[in-house]
Amino acid sequence: GAGVSQSPSNKVTEKGKDVELRCDPISGHTALYWYRQSLGQGLEFLIYFQGNSAPDKSGLPSDRFSAERTGGSVSTLTIQRTQQEDSAVYLCASSLAGGVRGNTIYFGEGSWLTVV
Amino acid sequence: DAKTTQPTSMDCAEGRAANLPCNHSTISGNEYVYWYRQIHSQGPQYIIHGLKNNETNEMASLIITEDRKSSTLILPHATLRDTAVYYCIVSFLSGSARQLTFGSGTQLTVLP
């Protein structure tokens, strides 16, 4: 597609349920990022994938959060046993590479998650 | 990683140039300066980035001081649709990653 695509755009789930959020990066982009943004807050880095390298998971807030990237393209962010504090917009971004050349990083429109 | 300092908010009259400052006094030699903006409820939109030379594209100009400790984003003719939070970010390397650490940004309000 022309841009980073995320689904679902909105998700309401009950506390304790698991959720999966999907990201389709821009075609050809090898680097993929997940961020989250709570209401009125700045963006918080979660995880980064670059090609076949081991992902940088340093931003994941707890072991309830995990992410996969299959075939070097689509990524899924999974939140297990959701809590109300997980309510946020989850943003995916991609770029050509994560190296030193200052490649532009493009964001999707986000998946709005509400845990009730 | 270098941190950035931006004013919390700014106003600009429609049609005038909006000049948004950013301080990044601890920037290192291989770190880029990126600017993004975020309009309410939307994902961040890339505006421009640079290393040490001034840059210009169809959206804006980026002026980086010679010592690279500060920069200014210029929107030459602000419109009401430019009202947004503008983030100045210094991009660092984490292992093999290039990440964007977002601060609080500047709320730019373009006034009619």
Mean pLDDT by 10 residues, chain A (116 residues): 90 97 93 90 88 88 94 93 96 78 83 96
Please say if the pLDDT value at position B23 is more than 70: yes
- Chain B residues with beta carbon closer than 8 angstroms to that of A107: 36, 43-46
User: What pLDDT score does B31 carry?
Assistant: 85
Contacts of B57-66 spanning 24+ positions with Cβ under 8 A = B60/B35, B62/B33, B62/B35, B64/B33
CA angle, A55 as apex, A46 and A100 as ends, to 5°? 90
- Provide the pLDDT for residue A14: 97
- In percent, the amount of chain B with pLDDT more than 70 equals 91
In which residue are the tokens 């940004």 written? B105
**Cβ contact (<8 Å) for B98 and A31?**
yes
Binary contact (B97, A102; C-beta < 8 A):
no
More confidently predicted of A74 and B29: A74
CB A100 within 8 A of CB A45: no
| pLDDT of B103 over the 70 cut | yes
What is the reported pLDDT for A81? 98
Residues in chain A closer than 8 A to B95 (CB atoms): 56
Contacts (Cβ under 8 Å, ≥6 apart) of B67: none
- Residue A64 DSSP code: T
Asked if the Cβ–Cβ distance from B42 to A109 is below 8 Å, we say: yes
Average pLDDT over residues B86-92: 87
Best mutation target among B98, B101, B104, B107 (most A Cβ atoms within 10 Å) is B98
Q: What strands, in cross-sheet order, belong to the sheet with A65-69?
A: A5-7, A19-24, A75-79, A65-69
Report pLDDT for B18.
98
- B81-to-B21, B43, B46, B61, B111 alpha-carbon distances in Å: 20, 15, 15, 17, 10
**Res B80: pLDDT:** 96
What's the confidence (pLDDT) of residue B48? 93
pLDDT at B30: 81
CB-count burial class (<10 Å; 0-12, 13-18, 19+) for A74: middle
Q: Write out pLDDT tens, residues B44-59.
A: 999 999 989 899 999 9
**Cβ partners under 8 Å of residue B66, min gap 6:** none
pLDDT exceeds cutoff 60 at B96: no
Q: Is the pLDDT of residue B10 over 80?
A: yes
A105 closest CB neighbour out of B96, B100, B101: B100
* Predicted pLDDT at A39: 84
A40 Cβ neighbours under 8 A, 6+ residues apart: none
What's the pLDDT at A6? 97
Q: Which residue has the tokens 């991009």?
A: B91
- Among A54, A76, A51, smallest CA distance to A65 is for A76
- Closest residue of B to A34, CA-based? B99
pLDDT of residue B93: 62
